[in-house]
Every structure is written in C-alpha cells, then in structure tokens.
C-alpha cells in the first residue's frame, strides 16, 4: 500500500499508567488516563510529579512518557491492519504509518519499530527517528535556556532543526544541546514607534558525549516497561463499514392503462327524519262468550190406558 492510502486514524493505547496522567482533548477537556484507554491524534498526554505512562501505537512502536512531561499527538495515521498482530514479536511495522509527536517538555523514551520508509512511513519527534531506542529530554528553565538531550542506546538517530546541519547520534552516544531563548522586549513601545528588533539568539551549544550510567539506567528501566506493555497489548483490525451501494430503481411493469373514471359526486346528505311519536298499544279484545247450552227436548209421557173392570 502506498502513502496515499493512509486515511485511517491510528489507535494508541495507554498502558502501565502510574500516578497522575491526564489526556487533554482538543477542546481543552482533561480526562484521567487509565490502562487500556484509547488515544487519537490531536490528543495531548500530561504526567504529574512521579507519574508515567507507556503509549503503545498500532504500528508496534511505543514511548514511555516520564514525570512532569507533556506530549502532543499531532498526527498518527496508519493503513488498516490485515490481521491481529503480536506486538511483542514485531521487528518491523506491519503496515504503512505516519506519526508526528511534539514533546512540549519533559522526558520520553521511545522504541520505534523498523519503518516502511520506502512506502512512505515516518516517525517524527522533533527530529526524525529511524528504527531505534532513544531518549529525549527537554527541560526549559526560567532563565531562558532550554536543555535538549537526545540519547540513543540502539540504532542511529539524526537530529535536525537545532543547527544548520544534521547531527548524527551513534549508538551509545548522547547529544546535549543548550539553546538560549531570547527574552521578549519589556520596554513598552510608544504609539507610532517601531519596536526594536529582537536580538538574534546565540548559536546553540552542542556537546556529544558517551551516555552516562544514570541515563543508561533510565533507558533500561523504560525499555523494560515498554516490553511488558507490549506483551499485554493487542490490536485487532478495525471493522470497516462497506460503502453503501446504490440500488437501481425497480422497473415498472408495463400494464394496460385503463381509463380512469372520475369519482361520482356524492349525493347531498338527506335531512334526518324526525322521530315518530310512539302509539299507545291497543287492548286485546275480550274473549268471545260461548253460546248457551241447548236444553234437551221435553219427554212426552205415554197416555194412560184404561182397562175395563170386571163389573163393566
């Protein structure tokens, strides 16, 4: 994949959080950082006194931010991972990435995996870093001086931007740069007057020396913390949402068009019929009187018969 495919925000996980560690969002909101919390570009990490955190990047690189430090994640983009990776076994980054960090102040130890530079990868912390274990310390002081120390325990670092030429830092060496920051003019300027130009800053003082034992101890301890963090951190491929495909409109069925008849005009509503007065129910007729019984016909007794008597 080429650099033009770096359209996905890379993920960064916090590990081995100790003490007061804050994540500052772009809008200035501050949130306490805990193990496993995720960070993205535009976030800033700040550590309090006696506090530290390891930041594990999705490309396998990692940094340990020391006490009283501030690190801004200006940019971190990465090509999507094809599969889950075991960060503790990585020797080179699994894909193409672009990282830009800004150490405002404090101390940081980093472990950067071998980058796919030929494909467009980069990892910048004030100065380009090319696959090495390094230590950066930047401590501004109140008297206008800033001490910038870069140490490399494994690999080679090239320091840019401090002097007109690159400063190579070989393995086992460190470069201490003292930069004097000119103070802003304190005399107020009268209206209409042109302020006096700020005097140029003196040339930085650059000293290359062997890494002192104290610095070596710091690097070794930080490297151990980073290794432990890598064994417990895993990134799985982020789910990708396929782009919605446009569904072609369904073809209309060709049907014989029938002439549409206009709807009939509804008849005007009829006036309601007034309720009828209920009629009084008629009484049923009385039952019919049965006819009187017919008397039996009279019985006529027979006429008496006279029998003649003997003396007759």
User: For residue 243, what pLDDT is reported?
Assistant: 46
What would the mean pLDDT of 239-244 be, rounded to a whole number?
52
Of 33-42, 217-226, 259-268, minimum mean pLDDT range: 259-268
3-183+201-235: CATH topology is: Jelly Rolls (2.60.120)
pLDDT at 177 over 70: no
Cα separation of 53 and 22, whole Å? 10
Calculate the alpha carbon distances from 193 to 147, 187, 189, 197 in Å. Answer: 35, 12, 6, 12
Cα separation of 256 and 263, whole Å? 20
Half-sphere exposure of 3 (CA within 13 A, CB side): 11
What would the mean pLDDT of 79-83 be, rounded to a whole number?
83
**pLDDT-derived band at 245, boundaries 50, 70, 90:** low
Cα separation of 250 and 159, whole Å? 64
pLDDT at 241 over 80: no
Which range has the top average pLDDT, 29-33, 59-63, 194-198, 204-208?
Answer: 29-33
pLDDT (tens digit, 9 = 90+) per residue, 97-145?
998 888 888 888 878 888 888 888 887 776 434 444 556 665 555 655 5
**pLDDT-derived band at 310, boundaries 50, 70, 90:** very low
Average pLDDT, the chain: 71
HEC string for the chain: CCHHHCCEECCEEEEEEECCEEEECCCCCEEECCCCCEECCCCEEEECCCCEEEEEECCCCEEEECCCCEEEEEEEEECCCCCCEEHHHCCECCCCEEEEEEEEEEEEEEECCECCHHHCCEEEECEEECCCEEEEEEEECCCCEEEEEEEEEECCEEECCCCCCCEEECCCEEEEEEEECCCCCCCCCCCCCCCCCCCCCCCCEEEEEECCHHHHHHHHHHHHHHHHHHHCCEECCCCCCCCCCCCCCCCCCCCCCCCCCCCCCCCCCCCCCCCCCCCCCCCCCCCCCCCCCCCCCCCCCCCCCCCCCCCC
User: For residue 291, what pLDDT is reported?
Assistant: 62
pLDDT at 7 over 60: yes
User: For residue 39, what pLDDT is reported?
Assistant: 94
Domain boundaries in the chain? 3-183+201-235
pLDDT (tens digit, 9 = 90+) per residue, 52-62?
999 999 988 88
């Amino acid at each position: 994949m080429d650099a033009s495919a770096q359209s996905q925000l890379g993920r960064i996980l916090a590990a081995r959080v100790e003490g007061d560690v804050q994540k500052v969002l772009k809008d200035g909101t501050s949130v306490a950082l805990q193990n496993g919390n995720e960070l993205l570009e535009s976030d800033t990490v700040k550590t309090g006194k006696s506090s530290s955190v390891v930041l594990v990047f999705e490309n396998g690189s990692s940094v340990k931010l020391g006490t009283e430090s501030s690190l801004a994640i200006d940019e971190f983009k990465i090509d999507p991972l094809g599969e889950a990776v075991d960060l503790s076994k990585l020797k080179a980054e699994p894909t193409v990435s672009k990282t830009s960090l800004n150490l405002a102040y404090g101390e940081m130890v980093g472990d950067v995996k071998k980058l796919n530079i030929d494909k467009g990868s980069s990892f910048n912390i004030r100065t380009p870093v090319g696959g090495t274990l390094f230590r950066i310390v930047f401590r501004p002081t109140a008297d206008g001086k800033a001490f910038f120390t870069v140490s490399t325990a494994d690999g080679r670092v090239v320091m840019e931007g401090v002097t007109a030429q690159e400063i190579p830092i070989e393995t086992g060496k460190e470069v201490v740069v003292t930069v004097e920051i000119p103070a802003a003019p304190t005399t107020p300027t009268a209206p209409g007057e042109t302020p006096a130009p700020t005097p140029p800053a003196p040339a930085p003082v650059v000293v290359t020396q062997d890494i002192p034992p104290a610095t070596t101890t710091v690097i070794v301890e930080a490297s151990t913390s980073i290794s432990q963090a890598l064994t417990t951190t895993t990134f799985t491929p982020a789910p990708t949402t396929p782009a919605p495909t446009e569904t072609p409109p369904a073809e209309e069925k060709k049907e014989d068009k029938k002439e549409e008849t206009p709807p009939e005009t509804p008849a005007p509503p009829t006036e309601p019929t007034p309720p009828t007065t209920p009629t009084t129910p008629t009484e049923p007729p009385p039952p019919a009187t049965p006819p009187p019984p017919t008397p039996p016909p009279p019985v006529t007794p027979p006429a008496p018969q006279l029998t003649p008597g003997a003396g007759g």
